[in-house]
Structure 1
């Protein structure tokens, strides 16, 4: 039989203080890392993936230019439907673990993901074109085993944004086109942490779960300059989007003497960062084309965040469940990419590319939820056009991060300190079908 845990008022106050520190860390870590994986999802097009997305804002390969550069629609002279999906298989190895907690470190915590996308466009006349795009610009899934040693700083994370973008583009003259449109964005998130309350709670660990969702409006705009028949330059701006996630914070299996189990209505305000993509496309001759691009992302938007819970009892207020916040240390990044394509014959086009994407999080701020580091990727791709009405694009990419050090200190006995080294890599495969009519 388990012996009932009894506490005196002084001990109860002490444990509430511990719980306040731990729950604050959970809420802050969960809410602010929902999007702070440091990197957006790039998988909005298989045709752009083949060159590591170099030239995405300066090349209108198909109607996926709605995302890459809306102004590019003016280059598509026929109506078309284009869509497909990317599959990502991620591997992460954990080593050099140091923690006072018991548990395992199996790694490979990211399940295989399928990321869909689809586009439609049509020219209205020689100058005006319209279109509609569907894509996933941000996403994260991280599901550690239940016995993961670092589960007190992040045991499960799933966030996803799905975007719908109506678009209009206009060719001002033979050299300059502009385009843009609003984005309707749906954000869903679920995050979990454990708390080490086993010695206070008959061996049971407390589980903190946060769920929330919101729909918000943003916009994408771009312009495209054709200097001549050989060289194009494009710039695309993806706006920030401000969300007010509404849902609940649920605490289960907390010690009875704290009386904190239950659901609390929760709201979290956050902005996803804006980005500016610019690139150059140059046709060296009838067969060879080169692409060079860079993207600035304003990750410093992820600064101070605050989670607010309502319907919290006085004990819950004392335990820190009412309102918590913290200043983070994210910084803006510049990523770069270079690529090339070669027209083998009228039916086949071959592609290759390389990209470098630095992480916006320093070693001191990295968490087990998103243990990313500076990232490199190489890609290969091909386009097959059996006739002028159809093109099938396929691309393969291999991505690898520099070794990432995670050092998360213990603010309370409910979150044992955890440090480790993460080595992550991924294989990606994208397929796209474009039909013109």
Structure 2
């Protein structure tokens, strides 16, 4: 009962209502909270409110108030299209089911200063991804052009619950850290053509007692995995784990601050749940096999961020962060382990081979009056995905973002922060087995909006 309640709370914190890819820096949002998001995701060396727990917790000490509570909402919408370069057929990720986007992802946090110590706790949507291509596009055709009527879709949700602390050692140096509980849940419907299955077997990436069974099916045209709960809340497989980070901030001069933080690689259990493996035969039709499935060792990467902020005038602030995200260590393969209820197993390694990612984030803010502050930013990242391992259902490709936002002081004790971020359209093609059968071209752009309300008392 406790596990069911925890999973329900995690899903509720990441409620969805139609299809979208929540990811921007691969599976991560490009800044946590409206202040950071509006300033290009910068957060290493200036106060961004409670969202700073997930970048550099040392900056919690620089908040203007002794106690704050923050509630917020992220809204993410995307424009994703996939084209078959051989035939010209195309499909958009759109609303075909109950568990896709736009994502409405709530945020909540509390911080309190106790002398030189500041503590905080929160719950944030860290990121994810999602697509919904339906049952009738070219992605649902098996080898030989057979229409299977089977879905191709995805939804990955990431929830981070940090317990953070910051301590001011002296007027110049502040240190901080956090311990995070993490939850992730995955829905996936994926069709692999017979040529993709054969490529995986030939490369030693498909093993187990069900491999010869599949090979012996007459007229095999493909295999389809379904591990999806078709509900507003719920994931086919999910798991809990831990992560954490350490950070420091150095006030070089009254106008200039430097900051650095290291986010540790997550330690999340294998995601587990029920699944159906359906073999598609040109002779006998669909052959569904029920069973249990695990997505093994699906982790979030370590990250190093170094940044600075400089107050040009009392009104004008400039910020810059440089990050290195170590995707290569965690995203070599997607490891799938299927155990049929009637006996037999199938283990698959779907190649990903991500590169480490370097990100430059730039931001600025200008205080117009005691009530109004305006913000803007930009974010530029290297591409972590390789075109030869691109999946249509995992198009986490955007690398360039522009953002704007503002803060409005409703009263001396409360304010509203807003940010809008646009991911510029990214295009990537793949014509390589085993991750695609048809040569595909994926186009992906995205709009994110964030609204926070902060109350001090």
Tell me the TM-score normalised to structure 1 length: 0.80
Structure 2 counterpart SS, 1:178: strand
* CA deviation string 1:15-49 (max 9, x = no partner): xxxxxxxxxxxxxxxxxx99998341235201111
Separation in 2, partners of 1:242, 1:323: 22
- 2:89 matched to 1:98? no
Separation in 2, partners of 1:372, 1:141: 9
Indicate which of 53, 64, 70 corresponds to 1:66.
53
- 2:69 matched to 1:116? no
Indicate which of 317, 320, 344 corresponds to 1:289.
317
Structure 2 counterpart SS, 1:47: helix
Structure 2 counterpart SS, 1:310: strand
Shift in Å at residue 305 of structure 1?
Answer: 4.8
1:382-421 to structure 2, matched below 5 A, reads 382-409=406-433, 417-421=437-441
Number of the residue aligned with 2:339 = 310
Structure 1 counterpart SS, 2:59: helix
Separation in 2, partners of 1:37, 1:387: 35
Separation in 2, partners of 1:334, 1:430: 24
Separation in 1, partners of 2:94, 2:261: 35
**Relative to 1, partners in 2 of residues 1:356 and 1:108: Cα closer, same or farther, differing over 3 Å?**
farther
Separation in 1, partners of 2:389, 2:287: 32
Shift in Å at residue 326 of structure 1?
Answer: 5.4
1:344-359 to structure 2, matched below 5 A, reads 344-359=368-383
Separation in 1, partners of 2:443, 2:280: 34
Separation in 2, partners of 1:378, 1:164: 27
Q: Say whether the 8 Å CA contact 1:37–1:140 is kept in structure 2.
A: no
**Relative to 1, partners in 2 of residues 1:345 and 1:295: Cα closer, same or farther, differing over 3 Å?**
same
Separation in 1, partners of 2:367, 2:293: 57
Aligned Cα RMSD in Å? 3.1
- 2:239 matched to 1:214? yes
Shift in Å at residue 313 of structure 1?
Answer: 5.7
1:144-163 to structure 2, matched below 5 A, reads 144-151=133-140, 155-163=152-160
Number of the residue aligned with 1:143 = 132
Shift in Å at residue 225 of structure 1?
Answer: 0.9
Separation in 1, partners of 2:133, 2:158: 22
Q: Say whether the 8 Å CA contact 1:338–1:354 is kept in structure 2.
A: yes
- 2:54 matched to 1:85? no
Shift in Å at residue 421 of structure 1?
Answer: 2.0
**Relative to 1, partners in 2 of residues 1:140 and 1:202: Cα closer, same or farther, differing over 3 Å?**
same
Separation in 2, partners of 1:311, 1:362: 32
* CA deviation string 1:38-97 (max 9, x = no partner): 34123520111111112x111113222222321112122410011211211111233463
* CA deviation string 1:187-231 (max 9, x = no partner): 11121123569xx99999864213321111111221111112101
Shift in Å at residue 152 of structure 1?
Answer: 6.3
Number of the residue aligned with 1:183 = 180
Number of the residue aligned with 1:229 = 254
1:228-307 to structure 2, matched below 5 A, reads 228-243=253-268, 244-252=270-278, 254=280, 261-266=289-294, 268-300=296-328, 301-307=330-336
Separation in 2, partners of 1:323, 1:424: 31
Separation in 1, partners of 2:442, 2:180: 35
- 2:122 matched to 1:133? yes
Number of the residue aligned with 1:426 = 446
Separation in 2, partners of 1:343, 1:291: 15
Q: Say whether the 8 Å CA contact 2:28–2:128 is kept in structure 1.
A: yes
Number of the residue aligned with 1:16 = none
1:328-339 to structure 2, matched below 5 A, reads 328-339=352-363
Structure 2 counterpart SS, 1:261: strand
Number of the residue aligned with 2:197 = none
Shift in Å at residue 263 of structure 1?
Answer: 1.7
* CA deviation string 1:122-155 (max 9, x = no partner): 0111x11111021121311111121121246981
Q: Say whether the 8 Å CA contact 2:133–2:152 is kept in structure 1.
A: yes
Shift in Å at residue 104 of structure 1?
Answer: 5.2
Q: Say whether the 8 Å CA contact 2:277–2:288 is kept in structure 1.
A: yes
Q: Say whether the 8 Å CA contact 1:160–1:187 is kept in structure 2.
A: yes
Shift in Å at residue 261 of structure 1?
Answer: 1.7
Q: Say whether the 8 Å CA contact 1:298–1:332 is kept in structure 2.
A: yes
Separation in 1, partners of 2:352, 2:289: 29
Separation in 2, partners of 1:146, 1:406: 21
Q: Say whether the 8 Å CA contact 1:146–1:155 is kept in structure 2.
A: yes
* CA deviation string 1:347-390 (max 9, x = no partner): 11111111112221122121212234352111111111133211
* CA deviation string 1:152-191 (max 9, x = no partner): 6981111112111111211111111111121101111121
